[in-house]
Structure 1
């Protein structure tokens, strides 16, 4: 009777951890993607001219991504040194306050600065949450937990779109910040990972980024990054600039950026759920990722080479693109499973943020190509640039997958020395 009560209590604590991490990621994605949704309206409100819109968008997006690169490194290392929970709390507090500050911007430099600071805070949520859930759940079922976290989180983009439809862009930023502050109260009931507690006093380096740069680990780390590169190419370029792509192809001029993002994230949420379940059914992370990479390649080709699209078709295509790159949960889980407890949060937090940060060079190359004379398709500089950048990102992902080890069912209670 006592044992059954203890088992029930343990199970309840595990699922509470999953729920709270999922809600945390919901708020994280809400805040992360809100700029893409309110981009045209907010930039017009601070005086950006239509001819400056593309350049201003790229500056602000790059600032956010640089912040996420820095935040991923900072919060990941701290989570391995100080514990998973304290870092989650610090991450939430920082991005909540900074998103409220975003509501009061009045210029592009100010907007970029606050998105940079928001990015630092936003970077800590997912990797640490996935690490915590992976460590508290049984090894053969942890894929379900991480899938739930990712699927709940991705719906934050839908929440951001709905809130924006019911309010203006400044209020939407404030609501995101307030939701994050409310979430801090829920974190109080979540306990620290038992695996981390066991190594807290162990004579071993924790959160040492330089441990990644050994011959044994650097290949695994880079391969883990490579498989996620197409995800942010799709979201940050193809979906974010859906109105521009559709217009260039002779299609509808009434595409709403926020609605395109919303449908992409509806697809992402569905893709995360399906990819997570497939990885459990196949008992293989690698085969699941391969399946979704092939699907991503096909979805990109369909999106870029369909002329004269209606608004409905564009929204459908962004949803399909989102579903195709909906292996995000499997990708982050695989990254977390590749490394030992004393380095796991560092890796699980930096890898998705390096992938997000990969949008910076992708955007720079994309911008340079669209302004150059090297056009593959006459009169279509956006499509020409996207084909080149997309082809490179997909090639990187397939090469990375070849060198990545299978981690399904792997025992995680070990140390990196």
Structure 2
């Protein structure tokens, strides 16, 4: 079967899935490759942590800015156009980063990558949810999530065997190839129905005042606190205890858990007829895993892979949360809200990465206890926030704010 024989609706789904595969592959390159580019740029071992932190800071700053800009444009200009625009932007940044021989230029291109990465998933999810009927929404979102798992697994596996520049070039080329699907896909009819209406006026300030939006942001933070914490676990704790795990190995275990979570949580929500209950279960379960990790994992090292699988499983609740976001907001704010919730969540990694060492130095001087304390605080807030949201499971998306 050629692409011309695939119904446009399903070709659009495949395109959104491939775009997220490439998104996850690209965003995780600095995490799995870490020191390789920096050593080539001439940094000493003592300078690596700060140099890595700068890369992640500017990448996530780009994600935050891109979420605002592309999210607003998607609710004005259309989902499909902005989906391909975002893919094009991070394709350029990734390819150029792989060709860079100067650290500061490289950091600049990671900022550009962040701009493009910011909106791709949120816009893709909104587009797919609007063109598929309610009863198929969960399966369509599940497909995109599984493509993300494949991207995470690929980057972790390939990082062990390939030169870092080659991986950046592969990431950029894959993203460019997605552009070939442009002419076989189509725009959301739900969006087209309001495109030229006066109520299709998007104000980020109106959204920022919305209580639902604030609750959803608080609800997504646990996943990204875990992500920030993994940086310190990989950099300091594993080395301190001389454990035989590296960053790419941890990501592989996390990816396996994510794969199980994407499938399992989708069906759990369907069984419970509630995404809110699923998110609540996941946050509580992640808190339990974090407690076990902090108190016992290094006395029993074989528990670490099991905990990584479990945390990956429960952290994948973000797709249920983003679906909740789409079901909470009308067509004229849906892309901006979904993109911003995800973008702010991703960007919070930088804030947590700054907060963790400050809190550790001021209070515990022990990263495990520092992370556990922050987990209790942030997870508790998230549990309260998600339960302030009204359940709108499988709501018809043909409405406006």
Give TM class, smaller chain.
over 0.9
- Residues 1:188 and 2:173 aligned together: no
Question: How many Å separate the matches in 2 of 1:410 and 1:16?
Answer: 24
Instruction: Determine the structure 2 residue equivalent to 1:328.
Output: 318
> Residues 86 and 189 of structure 1: is their aligned pair in 2 closer, same or farther, counting only changes over 3 Å?
same
Instruction: Determine the structure 1 residue equivalent to 2:53.
Output: 58
1:207 equivalent among 199, 202, 208: 202
Using the TM superposition, give the Cα deviation of residue 239 of structure 1 relative to its aligned residue in structure 2, in angstroms.
5.7
Instruction: Determine the structure 2 residue equivalent to 1:6.
Output: none
- Residues 1:258 and 2:243 aligned together: no
Instruction: Determine the structure 2 residue equivalent to 1:228.
Output: 220
Question: How many Å separate the matches in 2 of 1:46 and 1:315?
Answer: 33
TM-score by length of 1: 0.90
2:366 equivalent among 381, 385, 388: 381
Question: How many Å separate the matches in 2 of 1:152 and 1:164?
Answer: 18
> Residues 396 and 107 of structure 1: is their aligned pair in 2 closer, same or farther, counting only changes over 3 Å?
farther
Task: Spell out, residue by residue over 1:6-48, the C-alpha distance to the aligned partner (whole angstroms, 9 max, x if none).
Answer: xxx9994333222221111000000011110000222222222
Matched residue count? 398
2:304 equivalent among 307, 311, 314: 314
- Secondary structure at the counterpart of residue 374 of structure 1: helix
2:234 equivalent among 242, 246, 249: 242
CA contact (8 A) 2:232 2:367 kept: no
Instruction: Determine the structure 2 residue equivalent to 1:117.
Output: 112
CA contact (8 A) 2:216 2:385 kept: yes
Stretches of structure 1 that go unaligned for 5 or more consecutive residues are 1-8
Instruction: Determine the structure 1 residue equivalent to 2:399.
Output: 414
Instruction: Determine the structure 2 residue equivalent to 1:278.
Output: 268
1:357 equivalent among 334, 347, 362: 347
1:398 equivalent among 383, 396, 399: 383
TM-score by length of 2: 0.93
CA contact (8 A) 1:80 1:207 kept: yes
> Residues 357 and 281 of structure 1: is their aligned pair in 2 closer, same or farther, counting only changes over 3 Å?
same
- Residues 1:18 and 2:3 aligned together: no
Superposed CA RMSD in Å reads 2.1
Task: Spell out, residue by residue over 1:34-86, the C-alpha distance to the aligned partner (whole angstroms, 9 max, x if none).
Answer: 11000022222222222222222222212111110001111111111100111
CA contact (8 A) 2:91 2:172 kept: yes
- Secondary structure at the counterpart of residue 341 of structure 1: coil
- Secondary structure at the counterpart of residue 47 of structure 2: helix
Stretches of structure 2 that go unaligned for 5 or more consecutive residues are none
- Residues 1:343 and 2:328 aligned together: no
- Residues 1:95 and 2:90 aligned together: yes
> Residues 76 and 277 of structure 1: is their aligned pair in 2 closer, same or farther, counting only changes over 3 Å?
same
Using the TM superposition, give the Cα deviation of residue 373 of structure 1 relative to its aligned residue in structure 2, in angstroms.
4.5
Task: Spell out, residue by residue over 1:138-172, the C-alpha distance to the aligned partner (whole angstroms, 9 max, x if none).
Answer: 12331221121112113211111223233111110
2:128 equivalent among 115, 120, 133: 133
Question: How many Å separate the matches in 1 of 2:271 and 2:381?
Answer: 27
Using the TM superposition, give the Cα deviation of residue 318 of structure 1 relative to its aligned residue in structure 2, in angstroms.
2.1
1:269 equivalent among 259, 266, 272: 259
Question: How many Å separate the matches in 1 of 2:301 and 2:35?
Answer: 17
CA contact (8 A) 2:9 2:186 kept: no
Question: How many Å separate the matches in 2 of 1:106 and 1:305?
Answer: 43
Using the TM superposition, give the Cα deviation of residue 307 of structure 1 relative to its aligned residue in structure 2, in angstroms.
4.6
Question: How many Å separate the matches in 1 of 2:40 and 2:257?
Answer: 30
> Residues 48 and 388 of structure 1: is their aligned pair in 2 closer, same or farther, counting only changes over 3 Å?
farther
- Secondary structure at the counterpart of residue 165 of structure 1: coil
Question: How many Å separate the matches in 1 of 2:163 and 2:55?
Answer: 19
Task: Spell out, residue by residue over 1:213-256, the C-alpha distance to the aligned partner (whole angstroms, 9 max, x if none).
Answer: 44xxx1100111111101111123226743522233x241x422
Question: How many Å separate the matches in 2 of 1:317 and 1:54?
Answer: 25
Using the TM superposition, give the Cα deviation of residue 123 of structure 1 relative to its aligned residue in structure 2, in angstroms.
0.7
